[in-house]
Amino acid sequence: MSRLRIGAGSAWWGDRIEPAKLNAERGDLDYLCFETMAEATVSAAQVRKRRDPSFPGYDTYLDDRMKAVLPGCLKRCTKIISNQGWINPDGAQRIVELLREHGAKRKKVAAVSGSLITDRIAKLGGTILESGAQVASIAPEIISAEAYLGAEPIVEALRQGADIVITGRVADPSLFLAPMMHEFGWRADDFDRLGAGSGLGHLLECGAQVTGGYFADPGFKDVPDPWDLAFPIAEVEADGSAVIAKVAGTGGAINAMTVKEQMLYEVHDPANYITPDVVVDFTTAALEQVGPDRMRVSNIGGKPRTPTLKVSMGCMEGFIGEDMFFYAGPGALRRAQLAKRILEERFRIVDLKTDDLRIDFLGLNAIHGEATPKDAPEPYEVAVRVAARCRTREEALKVGREIDGMAVSGVGMTGKRVPHQDRAREIIGVWSTLVPREAVPPAITRYES
């Protein structure tokens, strides 16, 4: 293959579905790739599965996404790679059912599993990267531990003829690198090519974040028709260079600014962006605008991969209790300040036990906190937003109960909602460690429609 067209289908679980359908129908794609997992996705799915055994364990939008894109993908013979498997990549069987419903016969679906290592993390794990403590010290609280697999098992599934590959935890760029390795025959130790391909994967993995999403700032960085953003398409050459593009006639923008912002998104050292497949070097990249909404990206570098894989471990760490109430008009802030003082005393009186407590003024300092300028203007409207991190649900619920008290026992002119939702939520804290890559052998299961 001389040129490969790879499109993005989602950047996270809650992402829009229509741009994926558009890419499937009008993107002329060889591959459509879906990224649907955040750091705590697997742990949250494990907790849900424990409470509700009927929860299948894969992306709750699996049906919606597949039904939207299958007609277009089947017509064009576009292959699909997706990490919607979450804790159950054998959700591939549901895709087989959907393929049959679409009249597609003898289509091959592969499930890539093996990333879940909850049962053996205590034995494998060394040091927690964030705290320096031993993994063993948190072992009893670990709900889920999953390693970030690389592109190789997906490449193997494609080599075996899969039309659709569904995975559990795989590093996001690897979902996009895999088809490049497979189609261009890049070897797993060709780190120049793998660096280039993974860098492109990083540009695609956040969907609209490279096509004008998470970008517009009126008067400084304007974006045409920002309500109609497309997901990106990479036209990849065999040398690992590419043009980042999108379906014509859509809103949004692809330019040097959008590409640079996404290139550095969630990156620490841009010369050493570690993935399971390769260490990517963005500091050699060259960008060139080659047409409207078309950016050529070349010369992203690569260095040998590390001997380890990153593992995310989710732990139950208690509950957050939160709620808010409102002030407006002249003097809104002074009433909010008195309300804060009352709540601080009330929490003392009811002996609220917290690990952390915040009482913020939304409209003034709830987002930037201590970074809020001292001379920030006084807002016309203020929400007093209260959040506390507690060990037990009972303690966390005290937050909402004390805010209820502010309705008739608080400050003048207080706006307050009747509680309409659970005001205590579980915390799944995420820790990381490294394990030898040999300790996490992937597995491929094959299905056919």
- Interface with other proteins (CB under 8 A), residue total 53
Residue 306 found at the interface with other proteins (CB under 8 A):
no
Give the nearest distance from C-beta 203 to other proteins in angstroms. Answer: 13
Contact status: 367 vs other proteins (CB under 8 A): yes
Minimum distance from residue 77 beta carbon to other proteins (Å) = 35
Nearest distance from C-beta of residue 188 to other proteins, angstroms: 25
d(CA 319, CA 296): 47
Q: What span, in angstroms and rounded, lies between the C-alpha atoms of 146 and 168?
A: 9
How do beta strands 233-237 and 286-291 pair?
unpaired
Query: Is 133 one of the binding residues for other proteins (CB under 8 A)?
Result: no
Q: Is 264 in the site for other proteins (CB under 8 A)?
A: yes
Q: Is 271 in the site for other proteins (CB under 8 A)?
A: yes
Closest CA to 43 of 91, 86, 90, 92: 86
Within 124-258, strands assigned E span: 142-147, 164-167, 233-237, 242-245
Tell me the residue type at 92.
A
Q: Is 61 in the site for other proteins (CB under 8 A)?
A: no
Q: Pick from 385, 396, 442, 449: which binds other proteins (CB under 8 A)? A: 385
Binding residues among 312-341 for other proteins as defined by CB under 8 A: 317, 320, 322
Cβ(297)–Cβ(287) under 8 Å?
Answer: yes
Instruction: Tokens for 377, please give them.
Output: 């203007």
Of 28 and 288, CB closest to other proteins: 288
The single residue among 124, 257, 328, 439 that binds other proteins, judged by CB under 8 A, is: 257
- 286 lies in the site for other proteins, by CB under 8 A: yes
Angle at which helices 62-76 and 92-101 pack, to 10 degrees? 60
CB of 17 to other proteins, least distance (A): 22
Q: CB-based contacts of 98: which residues, under 8 Å, 6+ apart?
A: 63, 66, 67, 70
Select from 76, 221, 340, 401 the one that contacts other proteins (CB under 8 A): 221
Q: Contacts with other proteins in 36-55 (CB under 8 A)?
A: 39-40
**Under a CB-based contact definition with an 8 Å cutoff, are residues 206 and 240 in contact?**
no
Pair of tokens at residue 371: 């970074």
379 binds other proteins (CB under 8 A): no
Q: What share of the chain is helix, strand, coil (3-state, %, to 5)?
A: 35, 30, 40
CA proximity to 306, closest of 281, 277, 282: 277
Contact with other proteins (CB under 8 A) among 17, 139, 267, 328: 267
Q: What angle do CA 3, 81, 299 make, to 5 degrees?
A: 40
Among 16, 26, 260, 401, binds other proteins (CB under 8 A): 260
271 versus 413: smaller Cβ distance to other proteins:
271
| Rounded Cα gap, residues 286 and 264, in angstroms | 14
Residue 389 binds to other proteins (criterion: CB under 8 A): yes
Helix (H, G, I), strand (E, B) or coil at 96: helix
DSSP 8-class letter at 116: B
Segment interacting with other proteins, rule: CB under 8 A, options 70-78, 336-344, 365-373, 406-414:
365-373
As measured in angstroms, the least distance from the Cβ of 187 to other proteins is 27
**Alpha-carbon dihedral of residues 338, 342, 343, 346, nearest 10 degrees?**
180
Give the nearest distance from C-beta 207 to other proteins in angstroms: 14
Residue 23 structure tokens: 């890419």
| 199/192 Cα distance (integer angstroms) | 11
Tokens of 215: 């970008």
If binding is defined by CB under 8 A, does position 137 make contact with other proteins? Answer: no
Q: How far is CA 47 from CA 85, 137, 146, 220, 433, in A?
A: 16, 21, 14, 44, 21
269 binds other proteins (CB under 8 A): yes
Out of 49, 214, 333, 350, the only residue in the binding site for other proteins (CB under 8 A) is: 214
Binding of other proteins at residue 265 (CB under 8 A)? Answer: yes
Q: ∠187-73-447 over CA atoms, to 5°?
A: 70
- 28 phi, psi to nearest 5 deg: 50, 50
- Only one of the segments 59-67, 174-182, 354-362, 414-422 lies at the binding site for other proteins (rule: CB under 8 A); that segment is 354-362
Of the candidate spans 147-155, 163-171, 229-237, 352-360, the one that interacts with other proteins by CB under 8 A turns out to be 352-360
Does 388 help bind other proteins (rule: CB under 8 A)?
yes
Task: State the minimum distance, in angstroms, from the CB of residue 48 to other proteins.
Answer: 15
- Does residue 289 interact with other proteins by CB under 8 A? no
Cβ neighbors of 122 (< 8 A, separation 6 or more) are 135, 136, 139, 142
**Contact range with other proteins by CB under 8 A, out of 148-156, 226-234, 279-287, 434-442:** 279-287
Tell me the per-residue interface mask from 414 to 443 with other proteins, x by CB under 8 A, - otherwise: -------------xxxx-x-----------
Structure tokens at 110: 């592969």
Considering the rule CB under 8 A, would residue 60 count as an interface residue with other proteins? no
Binding site for other proteins (CB under 8 A): 39-40, 130, 214-215, 217, 219-221, 257, 260-271, 282-287, 317, 320, 322, 356-358, 360, 362, 366-373, 385, 387-389, 427-430, 432
